[in-house]
Amino acid sequence: LKCATTLYRKFDDLGNAMRCALRLNNMDTIQEIFSDASKAGASVQRQLAYLLGKQGVVLPDDENMTDEDLTEMLWNTRLSEHFLSLGRELDIMEPKLPEDIYKTHLETVRPTLNTAALDSARANLAASYVNGLVNCGFGKEKLLQGTGKEVHWLFKQKEFCKLIVIVCNFLVFKEYGSYHTIFFFVVEHSWHSCQTTQ
């Protein structure tokens, strides 16, 4: 890796040189490559700042940096903002239901009486996974924030399934500042569980 880092730096491929330096965990080399990037151009240094921010690498002279945008990139302070702006640009901000992703109305298999309840529980669990992954990080979803019969199925599930649903819902609200939504969801879930067991 040291040889690869040297060759990448020699041919000004600073992105790959930084990846090798990160794998070596050599802070001196990382610092040197980041300094070389300022000579290569602001865009290269910004890309390396995002790379270092993703890996959680703290440079020794972070406090002395004068470029505020570069510091924010190194500390990932605007990561959620950039994620949401990408979502707006790709026009995928509207929350989707699992039925929007996989088309259950196209299935021709008819469940038997014995497997209907089991398939329903599996379908609800699969819907929770799909809901969490499709709406991940956007802070909005339709499956559990709805009211009435859409949410009522959750409280009929076993404790393990409820935990998985809460974790999948956490994926949706993982952006900074939305943890209170998960907290209130868990409190409401706990209260409803206590009411149904009494």
pLDDT tens across 133-147, in order?
787 777 777 777 665
Residues 10 and 88 in one domain: no
Residues 35 and 66 in one domain: yes
Residues 152 and 180 in one domain: yes
Asked if 80 and 62 touch (Cβ cutoff 8 Å), the reply is no
Question: Rounded to an integer, what is the distance from CA 24 to the centroid of its chain?
Answer: 27
What is the structure's pLDDT at 8?
Answer: 95
CA dist., res. 55 & res. 131, Å (int): 28
Is 77's pLDDT higher than 70? yes
Residues 89 and 177 in one domain: yes
Q: Which residue has the higher pLDDT, 87 or 189?
A: 87
Residues 69 and 90 in one domain: no
| pLDDT (mean) for 181-191 | 55
Residues 52 and 106 in one domain: no
Residues 103 and 23 in one domain: no
Question: How confident is residue 94, by pLDDT bands cut at 50, 70 and 90?
Answer: confident
| Residue at a domain's end among 16, 50, 77 | 77
| pLDDT (mean) for 41-69 | 83
Residues 26 and 93 in one domain: no
| Residue at a domain's end among 52, 77, 102 | 77
Q: Which residue has the higher pLDDT, 3 or 96?
A: 3
Q: What is the average pLDDT score of the chain? A: 76
Angle 64-69-74 from CA coordinates, rounded to 5°: 70
| Residue at a domain's end among 56, 77, 98 | 77
Is 116's pLDDT higher than 50? yes
Residues 65 and 134 in one domain: no
What is the structure's pLDDT at 198?
Answer: 44
CB atoms under 10 Å from CB of 76, counted, come to: 16
User: 112: which 2 tokens?
Assistant: 């038997």
Containing structural domain, residue 98: 82-197
User: 99: which 2 tokens?
Assistant: 């039925």
Q: Which residue has the higher pLDDT, 56 or 196?
A: 56
Residues 157 and 93 in one domain: yes
What is the structure's pLDDT at 34?
Answer: 92
User: 168: which 2 tokens?
Assistant: 């999948």
CA dist., res. 76 & res. 102, Å (int): 34
What is the structure's pLDDT at 154?
Answer: 62
Q: What percent of the chain has pLDDT over 70?
A: 66
What is the structure's pLDDT at 96?
Answer: 82
Residues 62 and 133 in one domain: no
Asked if 179 and 173 touch (Cβ cutoff 8 Å), the reply is yes
User: 174: which 2 tokens?
Assistant: 């993982």
What is the structure's pLDDT at 189?
Answer: 54
| pLDDT (mean) for 10-24 | 95
Asked if 135 and 119 touch (Cβ cutoff 8 Å), the reply is no
CA dist., res. 128 & res. 175, Å (int): 19
